[in-house]
Chain A
Amino acid sequence: MLNYMIYLITFAAGSILGLLYSYKQHGEPFVAVTKFNVPFALVSIVGWVLGFCSGNVILSAIGFLLAGFVMGERPGYGRKETAVGLIIAIIVYVLLKRPLLM
């Protein structure tokens, strides 16, 4: 169970960091952002893929930290990036596990 605790802690820590960071960046009142932030998307993809598919506690923890960082941004930011990251991570997961599934 220890690894799950670590994942959760890193995820929560990442979210908090992301929240702090994005409030530093954007202080204005609420806006629903429509444009796609590529760097954050990359971070998100790396994070989710590492988190789900690495199979190593430390790498997964780092992955969840990154994923949490993007997901935890202030409302209106980082939604699409998170979604893209999650979808790609799931696809990668399925591809990796396919030999096992068949």
Chain B
Amino acid sequence: MISVSLFFYFGIFLAIVGSIATAWGPGVSDPVVRTFNTEIAAIGVCLVLLCYNHVLALLTLLATTVIITLILFRAIIRLEEMGADV
């Protein structure tokens, strides 16, 4: 038997830590670092979905997280390349 609630609370912990890190973590004035930190929160959410047995949602979340990261990085790269100040 595995303890579902252990992972459930750990997932919540990870999500909150991840979002705090995204909001006010060290070095988040760099958009790259900020995008990285959202991954932590995403993993937390994944754990919670796992504990709820929302497995299909978990699969989709895993796939979309990668792609959203790709999109955000693309925006960051393009804007840096242009020298835009946003």
Q: Do chains A and B touch in the complex (CB under 8 A)?
A: no
Q: Which residues of A contact B (CB under 8 A)?
A: none
Residues of B within 8 A of A (CB): none
